[in-house]
Amino acid sequence: MIIRKAAVHDAEKIREISLKYSVSRFSRQKGFVEFNTPDAERYSKLIDKNPYFYVAEEDNSVVGFLSNFSSQRLKDSFGKEDQIVNHLLLKKKEPFVYTEQIAVLPRYIPKCAGNQLFNRLFDDLADSEYSRVWCAVSHKPNRNVPAMKTAERQGFNVTEEIEVYSGLTFGIYKKNLD
């Protein structure tokens, strides 16, 4: 398996994987709770010149991805409609990196694709100005236990819960890199 920086031509496959894991707040399935999945054009813009957007690839096929954005990129690329991003930009000390999504196709989870994606991020951030990484995980009403465990295994700790998007509660997780 290869972990590489995402390229614009990966946008459609990334979107397809994201849609596969999108769920409603009342679903028993775990995934991206009511995530507003971008279209391929928007994903292309988010990938372009983003040093922290990665894909896992096997046999020339994208099998997973990890999307991350610097605090400056969040300011430049995300509007006021994203309440989690707004919370981070208003309340958290900059500079930081925000992990927005991680998704791996089921048959590649045992191959530790998620760990490899995070390892690539942490390696790339090692000599950068960024000493903190934040992420958000659904806590209520859809408690995303697999994502919570993934965050904890990667060294993230929950720092607070926030209520956003008309009644969803997300845990805000932080990882210090220094």
Q: What pLDDT was estimated at residue 31?
A: 76
- Nearest alpha-carbon partner for 173 in 122, 123, 139, 130: 139
On whether the CB atoms of residues 135 and 99 are closer than 8 A, the answer is yes
Which pLDDT band holds residue 50 (cuts at 50, 70, 90)? very high
What is the three-class DSSP state of 147?
Answer: helix
For residue 51, the enclosing domain spans 2-176
Q: Is the pLDDT of residue 69 over 80?
A: yes
Q: Supply 133's token pair.
A: 């990484």
For residue 132, give the CATH number of its domain: 3.40.630.30
Q: Do you know the residue count of the chain? A: 178
Give residue 25's pLDDT band: very low, low, confident or very high (50, 70, 90). Answer: confident
Q: What gap in Å lies between CA 3 and CA 136, rounded to an integer?
A: 23
pTM recorded for the entire structure: 0.94
The residue among 35 and 14 whose pLDDT is bigger is 14
pLDDT at residue 95 greater than cutoff 80: yes
Kindly report the average pLDDT of the chain as a whole number. Answer: 93
Phi, psi (degrees; rounded to nearest 5) at 46: -70, -30
Give residue-wise pLDDT tens across range 126-157.
989 999 999 999 999 989 999 999 999 999 99
What's the number of domains the chain is made of? 1
CB-CB contact of 170 with 151 (8 Å): no
